[in-house]
Amino acid sequence: MLAETLLPNGWLHYLLGGLLIGTGTVVIYATTGITAGASTFLESTLSYVSKQSRFQQFRFTSTRDWRVVFTLGIVLGGAIYGLAFGEFGWTTEVQWWRLLFGGVLVGVGTRLGKGCTSGHGVCGVGSLSETSLLNVATFVGIAVGTAQVVMALGVTP
Amino acid sequence: MAGETQADGGRHPLFMPAILLGGVVFGFGLGLSQMYRPEVVLRFLQLSDMGLLLVMGGASVVAGTAFALLSRTGRTAPLTGTQFGKRVKSMDRNVVLGGGIFGVGWGISGICPGAAYASLGVGNVAILYALLGMFAGAYLQGFVRSTDDTAATSTEEPA
């Protein structure tokens, strides 16, 4: 079966999870008009502690409080899921240096590229924005290539 | 810009609860879809499980449908008075350069910002390495670009 080759771990939880991610985005959009992305939180939160002019822009300082609330909501949603489905306390086996150094590049790239998997990937693709479609095609393509190289080098997990 | 702090400090009393509720649903979805596990994202990037396409596809169809329908009404959002519109970001070389750097980082780590927040909620404390890295990376680019800004005024649009 083609489906079992492409989706060896099932499909329903992926689809339902995706629909919920979209629904969370819509809850915020329908009430506030905001198309929220997750990575802006990194810079808007840095504006609390850094005087760098990049972070002190009005677009960060004027939205940093609700971005903290949005992120706490995501953390809380993850906790509710973990407790409800008996996965609370699960820990990744991906090595720490991959998380740390990959994370640094994610921090640089998402902020330089004006968005991440939620801002460009969900909101931007949903808006059929050419900027977002180009960004998503770039990061997915590069990420597939990078993951292939890492795997070929024998790094697991 | 939507959702900014008002000069009189006045936001609708339901503004923050709406943001929190949206975040909770969003985070629960990242849990249910297993995107909080770097291993599952890496399986997609290694092309052995295409589930991530269903996640991103499902999410963007729901979001895109709401954006299109509400934008067409010409109305304003009830809690902010902001005109419903679509997400528009200007195109420049940083969109591709940043996407490329993000792609390398995503391919190495298997984690992105929203999924990292949800992963922390599930109790995956190891993800703090990734969050530390993301803040460091965001600071690094901000530090460099703050220096740049003294020579040339930033022309970026509000987020």
Find the CB nearest A123 among B15, B22, B63.
Answer: B63
C-alpha–C-alpha distance, residues A98 and A80, integer Å: 27
What's the one-letter identity of residue A50?
A: S
Phi, psi of A47 (to 5 degrees): -65, -20
Residue labelled with tokens 């596990």: B37
Q: In this model, does residue B87 exceed pLDDT 90?
A: no
pLDDT at B2: 61
Of chain A residues 109-138, which have a CB less than 8 A from chain B?
A: 109-132, 134-138
Mean pLDDT computed over A65-94: 98
Q: In angstroms, what CA-CA distances link A107 with A20, A130, A153, B99, B111?
A: 25, 22, 24, 11, 11
Q: Is the peptide bond before A157 cis (omega within 30 degrees of 0)?
A: yes
Q: What mean pLDDT, rounded, does chain B reach?
A: 91
Mean pLDDT computed over B77-81: 97
Q: In this model, does residue B150 exceed pLDDT 90?
A: no
Asked whether A145 and A119 are in contact (CB, 8 A), the reply is: no
C-alpha–C-alpha distance, residues B100 and B61, integer Å: 24
C-alpha–C-alpha distance, residues A132 and A20, integer Å: 21
As a whole-number percent, the residues of chain A with pLDDT over 70 amount to: 100
Is A95's Cβ below 8 Å from some Cβ in B?
Answer: no
Question: How far out from the chain centre does Cα A153 lie?
Answer: 26
More confident position, A140 or B10:
A140
Mean pLDDT computed over A132-149: 98
C-alpha–C-alpha distance, residues B30 and A71, integer Å: 13
Distance from CA of A40 to the nearest CA of B (A): 8
Distance from CA of A132 to the nearest CA of B (A): 8
Residue B13's CB: how many other CB atoms inside 10 A?
Answer: 8
Q: What mean pLDDT, rounded, does chain A reach?
A: 97
Question: How far out from the chain centre does Cα B126 lie?
Answer: 21
Find the CB nearest A131 among B79, B95, B102.
Answer: B95
pLDDT at B159: 46
Q: In this model, does residue B154 exceed pLDDT 50?
A: no
Residue labelled with tokens 């993850």: A78
What's the one-letter identity of residue B151?
A: A
Q: How confident is the model at residue B98 (pLDDT cuts 50, 70, 90)?
A: very high
Find the CB nearest B111 among A42, A103, A135.
Answer: A103
State which residue of chain A sits closest to B25, comparing Cα positions: A24
C-alpha–C-alpha distance, residues A58 and A55, integer Å: 9
pLDDT in tens, A41-76: 999 999 999 999 999 999 999 999 999 999 999 999
pLDDT at B3: 67
SS (H, E, C) B49-67: CCHHHHHHHHHHHHHHHHH
Interface test with B, best of A34, A47, A76, A151 (most B CBs within 10 A): A34
Task: Find the largest Cα–Cα distance for chain A.
Answer: 57
Find the CB nearest A79 among B86, B122, B145.
Answer: B122
Residues of B in contact with A23 (CB under 8 A): 25, 29, 62
Q: In this model, does residue B67 exceed pLDDT 70?
A: yes
Asked whether A75 and B27 are in contact (CB, 8 A), the reply is: yes
C-alpha–C-alpha distance, residues B99 and B139, integer Å: 17
C-alpha–C-alpha distance, residues A77 and B82, integer Å: 27
Q: How confident is the model at residue B18 (pLDDT cuts 50, 70, 90)?
A: very high
Find the CB nearest A106 among B63, B95, B112.
Answer: B112
Flag if B107 and A55 touch (Cβ within 8 Å): no
Q: In this model, does residue B148 exceed pLDDT 90?
A: no
Residues of B in contact with A81 (CB under 8 A): 27-28, 30-32, 118, 121-122
CB–CB contacts below 8 A, A to B: 571
SS (H, E, C) B48-116: CCCHHHHHHHHHHHHHHHHHHHHHHHCCECCCCCCECCCCCCCCCHHHHHHHHHHHHHHHHHCCCHHHH
